[in-house]
Amino acid sequence: MGHDFETLVERHRREIQVHCYRMLGSFADAEDLTQETFLRAWKARDAFEGRASVRTWLYRIATNACLDVLARRPRRVLPDQLGPAGEPEGPLAAVDLPWLEPYPDRLLDGAGPDDAVVERETVELAYLAAVQYLPPRQRATLILRDVLGWTAKETASLLETSVASANSALQRARATLRERLPARRAEWTVGDPTAEETALLKRFITAYQDGDPAAVARLLREDARAVMPPYPLWFDNRASIIRALSLSMDPASPHCIGRFRMRPVRANRRPAVASYLRRPGEHDHHWFGVTVLTVEDGLITAMAAFESATAAAWDLPETWPAAPGYR
């Protein structure tokens, strides 16, 4: 029974993890709650009566496990949800808050039998940030109904409420999302990388590795935004972003953090770069994080740099040894 049970449920691991990620906004928490879901399922295996599919049963367990976590934790945030944009003045001070985290596309690919499980619009950072405003049960209702396609009756049963209450929660959740999602969201680059996007990403990487803020500026729209959790300071225009980069990239600046090396990746169905930083006085480049980009009409309109992202999640090494002759 043990081996058969493991085989039966293991095929759903990735889609359950994506579901937990939508509920919690954290890659690390999603990994933990997936394990918790499978542990709860193992303990309750004898009670599984087969009236629902194993997949539905696992979603039920996972949703309740996430609701248990959300009952005692604050919502996850991005810096631009905390206050107005600022201006760079020197070293940034990190703040220990429950920050939203990115999700690697390599784990989205083949996550489930239903394409809706990894529908691009529902794993975007903007969608995840908006969902965080919802109370936990509204969040669960929205995801079950609008993402997974559950019926009102199925959702009400899971949440142990009436169909009328579940429908009411869904309407309130949809209204909140309409208020919180970006106005031009439909204009963002979507789907597989285009040749133009690939070229843009290559220029972005070259500009960063060369330590050239002016070259970065040519890739940004004038009203581009940049957030950098765990730092609460964020920027809402190209000029501010470039001033910050000038402070951090200029070797003559007392605020220079070092030199970058980058490689293209994908996160949340968006173009992204994995970054390695060689700090002053160091020889090798060490893992720094992942920056997720939003692209409109050939220009970058948003940058979200996550130092909290782990190299292991992207199946990358912690260190990028210095190449001979690399400055």
What would the pLDDT profile of 263-280 be if each residue is shown by its tens digit?
A: 999 999 999 999 999 999
3-state secondary structure of 6: helix
Q: What are phi and psi of 323, to 5 degrees?
A: -85, 150
% of the chain exceeding 70 in pLDDT: 90
> Whose CA is closest to 233, among 74, 26, 78?
78
Nearest one of 259, 327, 305, 321 to 102, comparing CA atoms: 305
| Complete DSSP assignment for 130-142 | HHTTS-HHHHHHH
Nearest Cα to 53, choosing from 148, 122, 142?
A: 148
Q: How many CB atoms lie within 10 A of CB 298?
A: 13
Encoded tokens for 219: 């890739």
**Which residue numbers in the chain have pLDDT < 50?**
1
Mean pLDDT of the chain: 90
pLDDT score recorded for residue 46? 79
pLDDT the model gives residue 241 = 98
Amino acid identity of residue 97, one-letter, is L
Question: What pLDDT sits at residue 110?
Answer: 65
| 260 neighbors 288 (Cβ within 8 angstroms) | yes
CA distance 76 to 101: 8
Burial class (CB in 10 A: 0-12, 13-18, 19+), 163: middle
Read off the pTM: 0.91
Closest CA to 261 of 208, 299, 197, 313: 208
Question: What pLDDT is stored for residue 1 in this prediction?
Answer: 46
Residue carrying the six token digits 């509920």: 23
pLDDT of the residue at 324: 56
